[in-house]
Amino acid sequence: MRILALLCLLFPLFSQPTQDSQQDTPSTQILQGAIQFVNTENTSVMVLYKGMSDEFFILPQTKMTSNNQQISLQNLQAGQKVKIEFDSTNSRNELVSLDVTSPIVQNPIKPKTNTVSIFGYVTGIEPFSRLLIINSKSRLYNLTVSNATKITKGGKSAQFMDLEIGQKVKITAQQQNQQLYPISIDIE
């Protein structure tokens, strides 16, 4: 009976959450760049930074400001300089905050780009990181497929999970600084 009473007294000490478990917050990153494109349909923005561009998704809880005033998606325009904080732990870049730091830049710096077409076969797929490996004329291409990449199969809209090893594909990609970014994937 005494042991049971002692256990009842000690149980609250062992059942307290540790300080580490209370501090499980997602890691975020901060960067500065210029808006290239505002997608009101997907509630996202394409931001150019350090010669690269990425898509960042705006959530209902995203804090958006300009001159310390709250703004909405409709206030964003291509060419505006922004400082963003984002979380990429859910396999997509989710904005925590977006601050417009200057009005529209008349001639934003554009990276060297050109469009290339790749015809080949899917030889590898990594669903978590959305990595696609293509064999084209005995050359392997490792491509990271973004949510903005348009995927079609037989002329109809498709998704990343519709890709399978062995499928013949035509990929249109943007080449920036020796990196390829898929714009569209057509599964034949």
The backbone torsions φ and ψ at residue 99, rounded to the nearest 5 degrees and listed phi first, read -120, 120
> Which among 170, 39, 145, 166 has a CA at the least distance from the CA of 47?
39
User: What DSSP character marks residue 92?
Assistant: S
pLDDT tens readout for residues 106-134: 555 555 557 889 999 999 998 877 888 89
> Which pairing describes strands 179-187 and 168-176: parallel, antiparallel, or unpaired?
antiparallel
Domain membership of residue 24 (yes or no) is no
Where residue 127 sits, what CATH number does that domain have? 2.40.50.320
pLDDT band at 100 (very low <50, low <70, confident <90, very high): very high
pLDDT tens readout for residues 157-184: 999 999 999 999 999 988 776 678 888 9
Domain membership of residue 149 (yes or no) is yes
Whether the pLDDT of residue 4 is over 60: the answer is no
Whether the pLDDT of residue 104 is over 70: the answer is no
Same domain as 93, residue 120? no
Which amino acid would we find at residue 38?
Answer: V
Share of the chain above pLDDT 90, in %: 32
Same domain as 179, residue 129? yes
More confident residue, 129 or 101: 101
Same domain as 97, residue 121? no
Domain membership of residue 120 (yes or no) is yes
Range of the domain at 148: 113-187
Last residue of a domain, one of 61, 86, 104: 104
Is the pTM here over 0.85, yes or no?
no
Question: For residue 29, what are the β-bridge partners?
Answer: 86
Structural domain count of the chain? 2
